[in-house]
Amino acid sequence: MNVYVVAKAVHVTCVAISLSGFVARFSLALHRPDILRHRAIRVIPHVNDTLLLAAAIVMLSVAQWNILDMPWLVAKIAGLVVYIGCGLVALRLARTRRARTIAFAGALAAFGYVLSVALNKSVAGPFARLLG
């Protein structure tokens, strides 16, 4: 099987696990914050995100893509930074339920943008189809 196809399958699987884990950890942060201190709950997301990044690097390498020549990849990385930042606020830094919820919504919006950029290969993300 093609290395790119395998790396993409791993990448997509890790993306799904990452989003599911984020939603689950947010729910725990609101309802059972004590569980978030368990070692597995703290370690598994880092293992998954490392696999996600490794798969992305393999895809870039195999496809011989230069990130700077592909604006949609730069937009995807920028959206990822926003997702991580909002996620950090939602899970650790926010002190009120309202602030956590707003940051969570921001993280989900950023995730949606990153996903639409990846699917459309366009910086316009969810608006790519409308813009032509």
pLDDT digits (tens, 9 = 90+) for 63-77: 999 999 999 999 999
CA–CA dist 81, 114 (Å, integer): 10
Average of per-residue pLDDT values in the chain? 95
| Residue the block writes with tokens 């609101």 | 30
Residues 53-66: pLDDT tens digits? 999 999 999 999 99
pLDDT at 132 over 90: no
* Token duo for residue 101: 């919820």
**pLDDT given for residue 38 in this prediction:** 96
44, 21 in Cβ contact below 8 A? yes
Q: Where are the domains of the chain?
A: 1-65, 66-132
